[in-house]
Structure 1
């Protein structure tokens, strides 16, 4: 199979680029994939294709840009030139831009493939029905939220024109089937990027690192986490370091710089900036606890799966998709009330003052993470493509017989 993937890809800063990297890493090792065609956003640096494992040929065509109105034309042109057998779209609603028209035009690409009769799957990481538009940085205006809701429903119907729409949570399947009467939605879990050998669960004792990882400023805010760790320091006397790993959300430029200035009086608060792929293992391995300082969620959490793969204890808000993942996939952690610094401090303290409990949580999360390695997820996508190809073949045969009769 000559498989094309429409996605952002490292060193891109556009969302979901890390997920694409790990999918590509697995697809290229599958015997049934003869060539991978990456239809990516344009970046200044070279694409990260330094894989140690043997694999198929990879062709890169940088054919779209964030917030460009011509993406639908340029990606279609790239598809025409490369002639893939199948196309996988790695999407969320703001993938092609944070401007409404640019985002909408990009999301019409699966329909283009359907019209061209190219087998296609959309991996949809979130659905607007489960996004708090205010907390996620879209809009707090009630009228605008209704307008976004209408636009979102319209775009969802367009996306559902794809041969198959894969989502990462059963709740999303249920919503799309009920609201849109969709018959082509399939559950394929998020998966775990790197499943290393089971860790020994030992961590540096001084300082103990309390880490968070992501793009911050909208529904992910770190002020409460810094204040919570200050409280834990005061109540326990423990040597704790706050590690804020990642960058600003594109909708809130300058957010982390302001936090750094506002909390410069607080000792042992480290801002790492953008984390390169090779730096991720050290970041997680050195952490005692991974914190999710979220006020809402917008889909299945890649960071939770990463934390699990490194055997980390986690502190999570008791809301939305994170709570569902715990139930559905077997993750465990300490929960806190999203707007309460005291609740967050109590959750962190519960873990850092009980080493046996920290290890117990880490082992449970490692077990949950290893249930769905990316190798398995890639195989599930290939099986889904072969199902589509088989159905199209049977339909063509039937139409051929009807034409003869």
Structure 2
């Protein structure tokens, strides 16, 4: 089982040189012969350093320790007082000087060969932290009493909730990690008893390290030193201490009391669509600031952990779309999380495909603001008023229109709202009588090419973004086929997966047009593929049938310095060029009009270059960092009001 994180500063590659190994053996009341046998086996198996940490050693054990200490590869740290397992391990790990460090229980229950497997995982770059597990295969504990099995199961369940690490075994006494990992978390460790193992997992997980759980052979010694009477109650109580410490100021919050802690309610990758990509960019921009602490509250995902630590911000996946329980879980987190303010990054269909779930989700901003007195900033990305009247009448019934306007009015009952266009601000002020509404531009994203215009030799036309009936791909394909009669090597790249609201739309389009000469469907474009896809596009076509808000695709085109041709539908000029930048427009639904624009730009590369240059220059005028700065100011205004 692997818990994958994405924090760049703590990812390690497999080493091309031999890494030195140190292992700590905590000793308390084990027979001297058992300890000596284990230490010898570790040295024979290739460990460069064995650190023996003994608490209250007997006379026999002291003699054994004196003998062990004569070996150059053995370090002995003895204490006349009871430090506890965790206290002994902290001392031992602080003293260890190997490239890869770890520990193993002294009772011999874990064979050295099994510990070697854990160290190998770390040395090969498979994970920053490797933990042994007695529970992955489910049959190691059969020799334990039913009481101990029950206690272990209950503890595991609670530990998962506290640490958010999806492991099967937190307490196994065999773990290995890079020395840099221990240096990062050592000062944060506080548990000196048996809960040390669980706190260590919580800390490394919280700091963004990848943890791999590996099933190991374990020979139950039958005489566990963990007492159900004296130790077990404290272990369960320790989970509360760990939770409070992890969620407290030293773990996730700034020590500066003036820095507001903000919950950003937004979709976030690996979820696709529903503003997930924008939410990620906004969170990254917040994470680069030192005047605001952000926790993203995102949708649950089967492909990502419940808690993930990114550079500068935390992601907690706590709710689901189209779910009453999901809305309740989000509210519970907002009320329990001790946040100074909440920002909703939403559109009208954000919380579900069914109107009842949309409505319940959109009740949250005014509920938190008016009932619970939590400052709320809502960023609105769409308005029904900017949809073409014909499209409204055709696609949106009267009840839905009334509901959409009621939902907008409800969302505006928060403390403050932002919209991405000056025109949208005027609409909101005029039609909803809302006063505390601010125009904060969408912001452009920073990518590896620096936003420099790039015109590939081959004429490559691109359509980008989630595919749904709102994009007129049929007109684009027909226009492209006209273009290929005069530009036979032209290419049409359709980049994007199906919109979440239309799960199979991309597949339907690909079945219909995928075999046309020069047409290629790329599917969803991951972050690490973005540069190559955009840099190889001569221009991007935006074939929207209707427009409800500022176009994220146009902001990407500015970020990459790419020319744009857009369908000329109501609101599209506001959604594009009025936010800065340049575009050409064609008559919506008219393949010949689009084909003419494409041929003209292909023939006039200077004009194509000017369009690209205008977008590149506009990209730096208002970036996502500027957006985050303005929103942070608005949040702080509400917190201090």
- With structure 1 as the length reference, what TM-score do the two structures score? 0.88
Q: 1:239 to 1:330 in 2, by over 3 A?
A: same
Aligned runs of 1:229-248 on 2, under 5 Å?
A: 229-234=480-485, 236-248=486-498
Q: C-alpha deviations, 1:127-166, integer Å up to 9, x for none?
A: 1222348758xx836xx62111111121111101111110
Of the structure 1 ranges 294-303 and 191-200, higher mean CA displacement relative to structure 2 is found in 191-200
Alpha-carbon separation, structure 2, partners of 1:176 and 1:252: 29
Alpha-carbon separation, structure 1, partners of 2:397 and 2:263: 34
Q: 1:323 to 1:87 in 2, by over 3 A?
A: same
Unaligned runs of 5+ in 2: 1-259
Unaligned runs of 5+ in 1: 392-405
Q: Does 1:220 align with 2:471?
A: yes
Match of 1:17 in 2: 276
Q: 1:216 to 1:14 in 2, by over 3 A?
A: closer
Q: C-alpha deviations, 1:22-78, integer Å up to 9, x for none?
A: 011110111112x32111101122269686xxx54x333222111112333111100
Residue 83 (structure 1) aligned to one of 338, 363, 375: 338
Residue 296 (structure 2) aligned to one of 38, 41, 56: 38
Match of 2:316 in 1: 61
Match of 1:379 in 2: 629
Aligned runs of 1:137-216 on 2, under 5 Å?
A: 140=394, 145-194=397-446, 198=450, 201-206=453-458, 208-216=459-467
Match of 1:291 in 2: 541
Q: Does 1:119 align with 2:378?
A: no
Kept in 2, the 8 Å contact 1:195–1:373? The answer is no
Match of 1:395 in 2: none
Q: 1:328 to 1:364 in 2, by over 3 A?
A: same
Alpha-carbon separation, structure 2, partners of 1:325 and 1:100: 26
Match of 1:345 in 2: 595
Helix, strand or coil: the match of 2:304? coil
Of the structure 1 ranges 381-390 and 178-187, higher mean CA displacement relative to structure 2 is found in 381-390
Of the structure 1 ranges 362-371 and 259-268, higher mean CA displacement relative to structure 2 is found in 259-268
Of the structure 1 ranges 299-308 and 40-49, higher mean CA displacement relative to structure 2 is found in 40-49
Kept in 1, the 8 Å contact 2:559–2:615? The answer is yes
Q: C-alpha deviations, 1:5-30, integer Å up to 9, x for none?
A: 11111000241000011011110111
Aligned runs of 1:244-393 on 2, under 5 Å?
A: 244-391=494-641
Alpha-carbon separation, structure 2, partners of 1:193 and 1:312: 13
Pair member with larger Rg: 2
Helix, strand or coil: the match of 1:287? coil
Of the structure 1 ranges 62-71 and 250-259, higher mean CA displacement relative to structure 2 is found in 250-259
Match of 2:265 in 1: 6
- The alpha carbon displacement at 1:253 in A equals 3.2
Alpha-carbon separation, structure 1, partners of 2:521 and 2:391: 23
Runs of 4+ aligned residues of structure 1 deviating over 6 Å after TM superposition are: 47-50
CA root-mean-square deviation: 2.1
- With structure 2 as the length reference, what TM-score do the two structures score? 0.57
Query: Paired residues, what number?
Result: 380
Match of 1:102 in 2: 357
Helix, strand or coil: the match of 2:497? strand
Q: 1:321 to 1:196 in 2, by over 3 A?
A: farther
